[in-house]
A = this chain, B = another copy of it.
C-alpha cells in the first residue's frame, strides 16, 4: 500500500490537483476551473467530485494521509482564504472548515501559493539540505516564501512573506492591492510589460515590440526579443533585475538566507533576469553577506510544481 497526499493548487483561473507520494512522484493529476464558480459551495462540491474521480483512476492500493492546499492569500493558522483579489469569493472564505466534511478524518492544511512553493523546494527541490532560504515566484505578480531554520515563516497572523508588496517607489506604479509602488508592479510578468511600455514611450529605438498591444504582450515575447538583441527588451530586463536585486539585498539583511530560489515564467528567461539580479544584489548587500548568497532557479519540475508544493505542505505538516 502506498501512502499518498492530495495536493491542491488554487489559481485565479484553474485549480490543479494531484495524488503525490512521499518521494514527490505524482501518481495522477488533473485540473478544473476556478473562475467559472461564482458560488464557493458549488466549487467545493465540484472539486470533491473531480478529486474522487481522479482517485478512482489509480489502480494500486493507496492510503490518503493528508491534503495540502496552496491558495492566494491563504492563511495557514485559520485555513481561510482572505480577501484574495483574483478570486470570485470575497472577504474571508473558510476553506478548510467547509471542505473538511468531504474528506472525514483526513488532516487538511492550507497556506498561500508561494509558501507552498517554498515547502516544495524544501521537500522535493533544491533546498533539501538548506535551512535558511527564500523562494520568489514570478508570475502575474510576485510571491515569496521565507524559510528560517528549516521552518516556513508564517508570522503572527499567518501572512508573512509578501515581498511582492514591499515599497519600491513613493507614488510609483498602481498596484492591485490598492497601494502604489509595490515591488510586483515592477518585478513580475506584468511588471516587465509595464517597464517595456514605459521605455517605448521614452525612447525612439526601433523594436518589434512597438507592433504589439499591451494586452497582447507577454513576458515571453520580451524575453524572445531580448535574445535577438532588442535594445528595449534588454533594457527592460536590466531594469527589472536591478530593482529585484536591490530588494533581495534588503531581504537578505532580514533573514540572511543561504540561497534564493526564483520560480515561475519570468525565471525561464535565464541569464537575462538572473545576471542583472545577481549583480545588483551583490552591489547592494551589507558587506558581511557578500559572496555568500546563491541565486538559483527553482529545481521543482515546472509542469506540476504547484501541486508538488501543496503536497509537500501536507507531508511537512504530518511530520509535526
Contacts and interface: CB of A to CB of B under 8 A. Distances in A.
A131 B77 CA distance: 14
A254 B288 contact: no
Interface in A233-256: 246, 249-251, 253-256
Contacts of A151: 149
A51 to B, nearest CB: 29
Interface string A251-267: 10111111000000000
Interface stretch (A19-27, A161-169, A204-212): A161-169
A58 interface: no
Interface in A148-173: 148-149, 151, 153-163, 165-167, 170
Contact of A284 (B149, B167, B249): B167
Contacts of A177: 286-287
B250 A166 contact: yes
Nearest to A258: B156
Contacts of A158: 256
A133 to B, nearest CB: 8
A90 to B, nearest CB: 14
A292 interface: yes
In this complex, the member of A130, A167, A182 whose beta carbon has the largest number of chain B beta carbons within 10 angstroms is: A167
Identical chains in the assembly? 2
Nearest to A132: B156
A268 interface: no
A258 B155 CA distance: 8
A289 interface: yes
B253 A162 contact: yes
A121 interface: no
B255 A288 contact: no
A160 B256 contact: yes
A157 B256 contact: yes
A167 B250 contact: yes
A178 B289 contact: no
Which of A170, A182, A250 lies at the interface centre, i.e. has the most chain B CB atoms within 10 A of its CB? A250
Nearest to A251: B254
A162 B287 CA distance: 11
A269 to B, nearest CB: 24
Interface of A: 73, 82-83, 130-132, 146, 148-149, 151, 153-163, 165-167, 170, 177-179, 182, 246, 249-251, 253-258, 284, 286-289, 292
Given A157-B256, A161-B256, A167-B249, 18 more contacts: A73-B288, A82-B288, A132-B155, A146-B254, A148-B155, A149-B153, A156-B258, A157-B289, A160-B254, A162-B256, A162-B289, A165-B253, A167-B246, A167-B250, A167-B284, A177-B286, A178-B287, A179-B286
